[in-house]
A and B are shown apart, each in its own frame.
Chain A
């Protein structure tokens, strides 16, 4: 079969892509030279810490189920409270997360989400505020007053903001009843994880709670 002009250029494109891919760049493995290291550290810390991430996800889903107004309120209250808590924590001495408190957040937010609780806007905002202050304080206290701690906090809050925006917006536009039930099922899973986390916290684990 005779190749068309576009098709005959495919090997040329492939060669260019191959050459580009083979061009050696600095590894930047430790992000020291980019100046973006601490921000990425904060961002990744949040994404890799389920004790932080899951309650935020639960609150975002809960806000999304209630509607766009709730989502918008959470979107701005939670990161602001997180920032405030983080700044307070930066000035505090080092503090370890309490597994029982983490379990309580899992149970509270997972239970409310599973029950599709009809919370008022004020209660939702208050929950967002408390969650942000508590987790922000723990994050800030963990960071300590180092040179890059503010940048780490910034990256962390950016990740919180993006997660809420994506999760709440995703749920707000759901109309099918089965899709909203699926969101509530996710809440029941968070609640169940919280129950087990509570068990680990009370027992004291052979390994680690987090």
Chain B
């Protein structure tokens, strides 16, 4: 018996050849290889499934109409339009390429200025060429990622902010009737921020050589998508 082998397994991990000793588990010898699916596994699995089915969630028989729907509509809105998705993910990618502080400054600036654009739209302030602006944002942000452009931080922030106004003006005002404006707005902003986070997360591959090439390729794809939307805006 090899009694000297001490594992760092947490105490809740069951093991047939182990006994608890202080804060650790002592493994008593090398355990035989267990079968792929023994009776004990089947019983445990069945028990867990049975307990899951016994868990009865609340019925919510009397929801306030439209409340949750406003939030969910807001969450879904930014991810339902590819033009929106491309631009926002590109902001995250570009921020990741530029590094700190742009990596958090750009995603912070975008939702705030986007909401300002939405507020302008709600107040009835007209903004000409919205569709062209949105398509141009995807093209220019894609190109910036593709060439790993490194302008001064202020210029990058202003560029992103200008594009954000177009996105906010176009999308921030589309509240379906009967839904909560506040919840819709919160969902819309949170979804936008999460899209930036997706871009930043993808952009973490920038530390590797292959990752830098991958990001440039992603930027090219965003730019091509932007060109498609620009073509469609002209064709409309």
Chain A's closest residue to B108 (CB) is: A188
**A200 within 8 A of partner (CB):** yes
Query: In the complex the two chains form, what is the Cα distance from A199 to B181 in whole Å?
Result: 10
Residues on B with C-beta less than 8 A from A47 are none
Q: Report the minimum CB–CB distance from B6 to chain A (whole Å).
A: 22
Chain A interface helix/strand/loop/mixed: helix
Chain B 39-64, CB-CB to A under 8 Å as 1, else 0, gives: 11001100100110010000000000
Select A199's contact among B16, B112, B122, beta carbons within 8 Å.
Answer: B122
Known: A10-B47, A114-B108. A199 touches B182 (CB 8 A): no
**B152 within 8 A of partner (CB):** no
Q: Report the minimum CB–CB distance from A58 to chain B (whole Å).
A: 12
Is A197 a contact partner of B54 (Cβ separation < 8 A)?
Answer: no
Q: Which of B105-146 contact A (CB under 8 A)?
A: 107-108, 111-112, 114-116, 118-124
Is B51 a contact partner of A17 (Cβ separation < 8 A)?
Answer: yes
Known: A207-B66, A207-B178. A196 touches B188 (CB 8 A): yes
Q: Report the minimum CB–CB distance from B179 to chain A (whole Å).
A: 5
Is A208 a contact partner of B108 (Cβ separation < 8 A)?
Answer: no
Residues on B with C-beta less than 8 A from A200 are 122, 175, 181-182, 185
Is B54 a contact partner of A199 (Cβ separation < 8 A)?
Answer: no
Chain A's closest residue to B55 (CB) is: A21
Chain A 152-194, CB-CB to B under 8 Å as 1, else 0, gives: 0000000000000000000000000010010011001101111
Is B50 a contact partner of A14 (Cβ separation < 8 A)?
Answer: yes
Is A1 a contact partner of B50 (Cβ separation < 8 A)?
Answer: no
Chain B's closest residue to A194 (CB) is: B115
**A122 within 8 A of partner (CB):** no
**B186 within 8 A of partner (CB):** yes
Known: A189-B111, A196-B189, A197-B185. A207 touches B40 (CB 8 A): no
Residues on A with C-beta less than 8 A from B122 are 196, 199-200, 202-203
7 shortest A-B CB distances, which residue pairs? A199-B122, A196-B185, A199-B119, A192-B115, A200-B181, A195-B115, A1-B38
- 23 CB contacts below 8 A, A to B, read A1-B35, A3-B40, A10-B40, A11-B43, A17-B51, A50-B182, A54-B186, A99-B182, A102-B182, A114-B108, A185-B107, A189-B111, A189-B193, A191-B115, A192-B112, A196-B122, A197-B182, A199-B119, A199-B173, A200-B175, A200-B182, A208-B181, A209-B180
User: A residues touching B (Cβ–Cβ < 8 Å)?
Assistant: 1, 3-4, 7, 10-11, 13-14, 17-18, 21, 48, 50-51, 54, 99, 102, 114, 178, 181, 184-185, 188-189, 191-200, 202-203, 205-210
